[in-house]
Amino acid sequence: MGFHSRAHDILLQARVGRARSKAIAVKITQQTQGLSMKHVFNYRLLTLHLLAASLSFVNAQPALDALSRHLEAGASAAAVSHEPEGEKAFEIFRQALIAAAKRNGDSGIAEIVATFAPGKLIPAEHCELASRLLRKYFLARYGEKLGPDLSALLKFRTEAQPNQENWFLPEFVRQREWLEQKAKAVGLAFKTFDGRVDEITLAGGDSIIAILTHGDVVDVEGQTWSSPPWEGRIVDGKVMGRGAMDDKGPIIPSLYAIAALRDCGWQLSSTIKLLVANAEETDWSDVQYYLKNAPTPQYTIGMDGTFPVTHGQKAYALITIKSDSLGVKPSSARWKLLSLAGGSSPGIIPEEGAAVLIAKRKEQTVKSNLAQLAQKWCEAHPLARISVEQVGDSLKLKAFGKGGHAAIPENGHNALGDLTAFLATLDLEIDCWGAFAAFIGKSVGTELYGQSLGIAHTHAAMGQLTVNLGVIRMEDGTPTAYLNPRVPVGTTAEEMETRVKQKVAVFNQRAGAKINATVRMGQPHFVPVSGKLVSTLLKTWEEVTGTVKKPIVTGGGLQSRLFPGGVDFGPALSMDQDRSHASDEYMTIDELKLIGELTVAALWALAAGD
């Protein structure tokens, strides 16, 4: 994009008219004649951002005059948009505001901003103004870096593999080296805790505020993408790739939010750390190791949930269903199920499922009969899509859904749920596979809230229990399903297992089956709204966005729960905008900018020297 085009965009966003936008762009172009081409484009853009920021305090023309005089003072300023000495860029920014305010006759603002010098303790009555200034500076200094840097980060294929130390794999090592280079480039310290957690630090007071993210991602097995998931392409303002939202996206604006706090040089009551964990998608051993080897933060802000604040987390549960062999029994059933499979992880809504069966009665119209049954079932369930294909003497059923995170099953559509629910309507032979499909289809199927499984439960503040049918496969010769409930306060693992086993016992007795079930469950996590961390983050959201929203309870298992009083602050702007684990996962550049503004404002509010 050319300079004049970008200039118009920036200035129009600052409510400068089209004619004046063009005039200002021309004037800044004139002021930078003769500078090195290596610096001139970035500096022009920085100047425009500074001007746009100034307009929130003063009128445009005096700000332009002040900034023009500053430009004439020396060409050495042309390097501030990309040199590591960020404090120089902030000082130019601060002095521009002072000069503009004085020029406009607003000596009060000029005097206040003049006190915002490096090393100073900002008085409480001026902290909100300082926060506003920081947010504008963040956008001016680092806004253009967010998209390209996230794109680069997404190219590291840091897939989480169970039962191994992923953080030592080559892609994790390359990502760690890249993060270290980025941190040191903006004057921040870098340390790795055995590769399990990478830590970026801005030193301040004795207490610690931690921003918690993770750099490992889930795989893309069974998903269809319109853009390659490991290339980080930027398409129509979207940075696309696996991990864009969960959870590499927040790493970049968080890094630069901390850098902005370093640049300003103001006194901070707390040390600020950005943590990048590397086993979030597997066993959480990363954070457990970190907490044994590092000081515990006073405040922990995860970036793996939903704005305005995710202050409650349902318990993560895993129900394993298996079907033992029944031997050969005479049967008049019409269909025999040979196999059933789908899904890659209990925590991901499966996009596809497949089943193979044969007709026990040889009929020429067997395929069309099954296709008609599938069509009729799909008509009664409008979101369902099931195809039928003849493969030799067998018939292959395929179901197609919409992937997503198991914590928000209503945002996706479970292909295995459709497939098992349909199979349960057929006259299946009750062998190990037939009994298995019938039980799953009738007890779970398309339901999201555990009604037919007997585990439905609702908590006043935390909402409903949800269930995701995540995986079906053959394990050690046994049909096996993994269900992933997310459980609010009020139900224990023992209670859930008792209810599930009661349902299994009733089914086994009626069908002559040998289904068995086991249940494992963690603990829910809940942080009161009245505490300082939650109330500060809610206030920050309101100040930055101008909107009021209620705090969120999630079904997701977030690592912030491992920290005392930990909560999450984004990155999803709402529950229905959470694109974690989905095909074509992305973050928009505008979202990245907003996350950065919110993060720098929140960190400042918590560490402003109270």
Give Cβ neighbours of residue 471 (< 8 Å, ≥ 6 apart).
342, 343, 344, 345, 346, 350, 480, 481, 482
51 has pLDDT over 80: no
For Cα atoms 338, 342, 346, give the angle at the middle one, nearest 5 degrees. Answer: 130
Cβ contacts of 366-372, under 8 Å, gap ≥ 24: 366/395, 367/395, 370/395, 370/397
Q: Which residue has the higher pLDDT, 575 or 132?
A: 132
> Which of these ranges, 36-50, 142-156, 196-210, 593-607, has the smallest mean pLDDT?
36-50
309 in Cβ contact with 522 (< 8 Å): no
Which residue has 């977030």 as its token pair?
558
For residue 369, the 8-state DSSP code is H
User: Mean of the pLDDT values across residues 242-266?
Assistant: 97
d(CA 71, CA 89): 13
d(CA 55, CA 46): 14
Q: Quick one: fold of 316-521?
A: Alpha-Beta Plaits (3.30.70)
d(CA 80, CA 39): 9
610 has pLDDT over 70: no
d(CA 408, CA 204): 38
Range with the largest mean pLDDT of 234-248, 549-563, 596-610: 234-248
The 10s digit of each residue's pLDDT in 152-174 is: 999 999 999 888 899 999 999 99
d(CA 177, CA 188): 14
19 has pLDDT over 70: no
Instruction: State how far the alpha carbon of 45 is from the alpha carbons of 13, 26, 76, in Å.
Output: 14, 13, 16
Structure tokens at 323: 């079907």
Q: Considering the chain, what percentage of its residues have pLDDT values greater than 90?
A: 72
The 10s digit of each residue's pLDDT in 428-481 is: 999 999 999 999 999 999 999 999 999 999 998 899 999 999 999 999 999 999
Give the residue extent of every domain in the chain: 3-114, 145-314+525-607, 316-521
**Tell me, what's the pLDDT at 205?**
94
For Cα atoms 528, 529, 535, give the angle at the middle one, nearest 5 degrees. Answer: 135
What is the rounded radius of gyration, in angstroms, for the C-alpha atoms of the chain? 28
Band of residue 16 on the pLDDT scale cut at 50, 70, 90? very low
**Tell me, what's the pLDDT at 17?**
42
Q: Which residues pair with 483 in a beta bridge?
A: 319, 469
CATH superfamily, domain at 145-314+525-607:
Zn peptidases (3.40.630.10)
63 has pLDDT over 50: no
217 in Cβ contact with 581 (< 8 Å): no
| β-bridge pairing 348-349 and 404-405 | antiparallel
User: Mean of the pLDDT values across residues 588-600?
Assistant: 98
The 10s digit of each residue's pLDDT in 502-519 is: 999 999 999 999 999 999
Give Cβ neighbours of residue 109 (< 8 Å, ≥ 6 apart).
57, 58, 97, 101
Residue type at 447 in one-letter notation = E
d(CA 407, CA 22): 49
| β-bridge pairing 394-400 and 466-475 | unpaired
**Tell me, what's the pLDDT at 263?**
96
41 has pLDDT over 90: no
> Which of these ranges, 12-21, 37-46, 66-75, 392-401, has the smallest mean pLDDT?
66-75
**Tell me, what's the pLDDT at 360?**
85
Residue type at 120 in one-letter notation = K
What is the CB-side half-sphere exposure of residue 504 using CA atoms within 13 A? 19
303 in Cβ contact with 212 (< 8 Å): yes
CA 349 vs. chain centroid, Å, equals 16
| β-bridge pairing 315-323 and 478-487 | antiparallel
Q: Considering the chain, what percentage of its residues have pLDDT values greater than 70?
A: 85
The 10s digit of each residue's pLDDT in 74-118 is: 222 323 444 547 888 899 888 888 888 888 888 888 898 899 999
| Cα distance between the two ends of the chain | 44
Give Cβ neighbours of residue 273 (< 8 Å, ≥ 6 apart).
199, 200, 201, 202, 208, 209, 210, 211, 297
**Tell me, what's the pLDDT at 175?**
99
| β-bridge pairing 270-277 and 305-306 | unpaired
> Which of these ranges, 79-93, 112-126, 220-234, 246-260, has the smallest mean pLDDT?
79-93
271 in Cβ contact with 203 (< 8 Å): yes
Band of residue 535 on the pLDDT scale cut at 50, 70, 90? very high
User: Mean of the pLDDT values across residues 345-370?
Assistant: 89
> Which of these ranges, 36-45, 210-219, 271-280, 381-390, has the smallest mean pLDDT?
36-45
Q: Is residue 7 exposed (0-12), middle (13-18) or buried (19+ Cβ within 10 Å)?
A: buried
524 has pLDDT over 70: yes
468 in Cβ contact with 453 (< 8 Å): no
Q: What is the mean pLDDT of the chain?
A: 87
197: left (phi over 0), alpha (psi -120 to 50) or beta: beta
Which residue has 């805790």 as its token pair?
193
The pTM score is 0.70
73 has pLDDT over 50: no
Residue type at 95 in one-letter notation = Q
Q: Which residue has the higher pLDDT, 257 or 25?
A: 257
**Tell me, what's the pLDDT at 279?**
96
521 has pLDDT over 70: yes
